[in-house]
A and B are shown apart, each in its own frame.
Chain A
Amino acid sequence: MRLKLLFRNAFRHKLRTGLTVVGIGVAILAFGLLRTVVSAWYAGVDASSASRLVTRNAISLVFTLPVSYRDKIRSVDGVNRVSYGSWFGGVYINEKNFFANFAVEADNYLSLYPEFILKPEEKTNFLRDRKGCVVGKKLAARFNLSINDTVTLKGTIFPGNWDFVVRAIYAGRDASIDENQFFFHWDYLNETVKKKYARRADQVGFYMIGLKKPETAADTSRAIDHLFKNSYAETLTETEKAFQLSFISMSEAILTVIELVSIVVIVIIMAVAANTMAMSSRERAGEYAVFKTLGFGGRFLVMLIFGESIVIAGLGTGLGMALTYPAARAFRSSLGNFFPVFQVDPETLYLDMAAGMMIACISALFPAWRAVRVRIADGLGRIG
């Protein structure tokens, strides 16, 4: 009977309840998507390993380091493996087809990234072919690339048309791994650069360093940077995570705003839901007085009002959560280039539920308080 009462109360005004449920649904959906955008932004950071260091020119990323640093870095305590590479910045057919492409020393690089899964024979073919390249699974799907296809990139930093042959396609170990990258052999880049622009030869954009133990990251970084102190190209070494974060920090203000907006959305819908509940319970003041007259206590009324509020907010939250997945999928297919990893975290769903619960409780709070407090004679007076 109690359940019957609160369900029937919830649907007494079908239009009002319907609109409120849809409103809550949309708010929860917006909340979920905004959270997902933020976490998509940080995906690169989360995927980065704590046992990798990145060494780059201390002045800025635009400046390079000599490839000869490699052996010196390898001799530093705590360093297990060293690879290096350059941001190539090639364009595939047209600038809209943006994706990350790097020239790397491939053998060590792939060993440093066990999260990129390659078929053994494809890996061998790639390592053997000077003009070979390896592409991520999503990238391959996006441009319909298969093994042995030729890909031509137009160089921006290194002008000219560059031909590559797809020799391997990597898959991410899990969904947080970016499958939209493109790698080829740094040697191929360097040979060509040597011929055309000799001054720019034998330079790398970054060193990627594997540590024996992640705990030594700080000491090892310091040791590497110390090694090149007062040389003509000083280095800055940091964990891969810090390196990735330094990219994001530029957009951190925007992310903060997005997070704020996601909270504002919830607060607004809370006000709307609270208004619905307040309206309903104001109309029912007489009924609440009848319940009290019959001997029902404040606890019963609190249960009734919170129950109704939970039913409405629960439906809205369920609707919003159900819509989050298809919406995220649509989002991914239209904006996937910008967000290589666009996934709804389970955490977002928990936050959805918490937000829904909060909407329910906050909007029931005032009506319940008023219903408990109102004197019977006054409540009846609204009708009689």
Chain B
Amino acid sequence: MPSIIDVQNVSKYYHRGAESIQVLDNISLTIETGQFLALMGPSGSGKSTLLNLIAGLDQADQGRIVVDGLDITRLSETQLANWRAGHVGFIFQFYNLIPVLTALENVELPLMLSRLNRKERREHAQTALALVSLDDRMRHYPRQLSGGQQQRVAIARAIVTDPTLLVADEPTGDLDRNSAEDVLTLLDSLTRDLGKTIVMVTHDPRAARKAHVMKYLEKGLLTDAPQAVVSECV
């Protein structure tokens, strides 16, 4: 399988006043097309930071990140924004839907940056909502939906542009067991049926169990998951 994401010797520092803190220390990682990767590690280990770099939300201080043949560390802020709009789908822990838009409008939102016309946008959004089994909740506002339903709307929003890469930061972190199960099944079918590449940060062993690959981040260093973690997930 060809690799779709190639993280090469990436370091990231945060500056707090005069002192600078190294959050990622010379990280390298390759992810293959269609792979479902779970990124684990203790709180504050830099998981979200790494995910943000891969998704083009933040800039690395050292190293290269090549996604689908494109070195995204060389893109300007605007170029990155355009690249994200076309290539990356985002799923967050707290869903991050726009509260004044209905489920359908939320899903339609990313398509406003595409060349589709209004009718096509609507159709794509409806298809995506049907895929997450929420076609009967299209006119609902986020506050009228349960957490699990909101997260499914967020997944529909993430896939509506047909991105090559999906990133998810603790997508089940705020959900009860059943809703989490639904969301994970959905993510699993996205890789299985649609061949999406997924990078997911999680603390949840059950979530990690769905992934094909597990990576472990601790104190800014990336390793394969330690045996203790793996056994917990099996």
Contacts and interface: CB of A to CB of B under 8 A. Distances in A.
A203 to B, nearest CB: 78
Contacts of B82: 295
DSSP majority for the B interface? helix
Interface in B56-110: 57-58, 78, 81-86, 90, 92-94, 96, 98-101, 105, 108-110
B58 A294 contact: no
Contact of A375 (B58, B90, B94): B58
B110 to A, nearest CB: 5
Contacts of A4: 101, 105
Interface in A326-384: 375-377, 380, 383-384
Interface string A275-312: 00000000000110010111111000000000000000
B113 interface: yes
Interface stretch (A5-13, A114-122, A229-237): A5-13
Nearest to B86: A295
A384 B81 contact: no
Nearest to A8: B100
A1 interface: yes
Given A5-B101, A8-B100, A9-B100, A294 B109 contact: yes
Nearest to A287: B98
Given A4-B105, A287-B98, A384-B93, A296 B52 contact: no
B169 interface: yes
Contacts of A383: 92, 94, 96
Given A5-B100, A295-B110, A297-B78, A377 B92 contact: no
B98 A377 contact: no
Contacts of A286: 96
A207 B196 CA distance: 97
A297 B57 contact: no
Contact of B85 (A287, A294, A375, A380): A294
Interface residues of B, number: 28
B160 to A, nearest CB: 10
B145 interface: no
B112 interface: yes
Contact of B105 (A1, A9, A290, A375): A1
A12 B141 CA distance: 13
A383 B90 CA distance: 15
Nearest to A10: B100
Given A294-B90, A297-B78, A1 B98 contact: no
Contacts of A297: 78, 81
24 contacts: A1-B108, A1-B109, A4-B105, A5-B98, A8-B101, A286-B96, A293-B57, A294-B84, A294-B85, A294-B109, A295-B83, A295-B85, A295-B113, A296-B85, A375-B58, A376-B57, A376-B58, A377-B48, A380-B57, A380-B92, A380-B96, A384-B92, A384-B96, A384-B169
Interface of A: 1-2, 4-5, 8-9, 12, 286-287, 290, 292-297, 375-377, 380, 383-384
